[in-house]
Amino acid sequence: MHRKEKRMFYAKKHEQYVTSLINNIYAAADAAKDYRTMQFLDWFVKEQGEEEKNADDMIKKYELYGSDAKGLYALNQELLGRVYAAPSLVL
């Protein structure tokens, strides 16, 4: 495994770790029947699922492109085109 692949692997592992932390907080809120907190955490659960998917997609694309300069350039352009959308936390 190359250095870049290791970084992506560890990034995915980190996202999975963050997911476990959010799930633990959600479980505690559920056990306490704290429904407002559970509702608040719903956005984080959804967002973290997207982050794990993004990390997984990045690994798959990197494996597909490998060391192909044109493919890596296209991947870079795709990443540069991402647009941040502020979350809606309406309760």
Domains of the chain: 3-79 (1.20.1260.10)
What are the tens digits of pLDDT across the range 33-57? 999 999 999 989 999 999 999 999 9
pLDDT tens across 61-91, in order?
A: 888 887 788 988 988 898 899 887 776 665 5
Between 70 and 27, name the one with better pLDDT: 27
Residue the block writes with tokens 């056990």 = 31
* Gap between the Cα atoms of 39 and 53, Å rounded: 22
Helical residues (DSSP H) of 32-80, grouped into ranges: 35-65, 69-80
Helix 3-31 × helix 35-65 angle, to 10°? 160
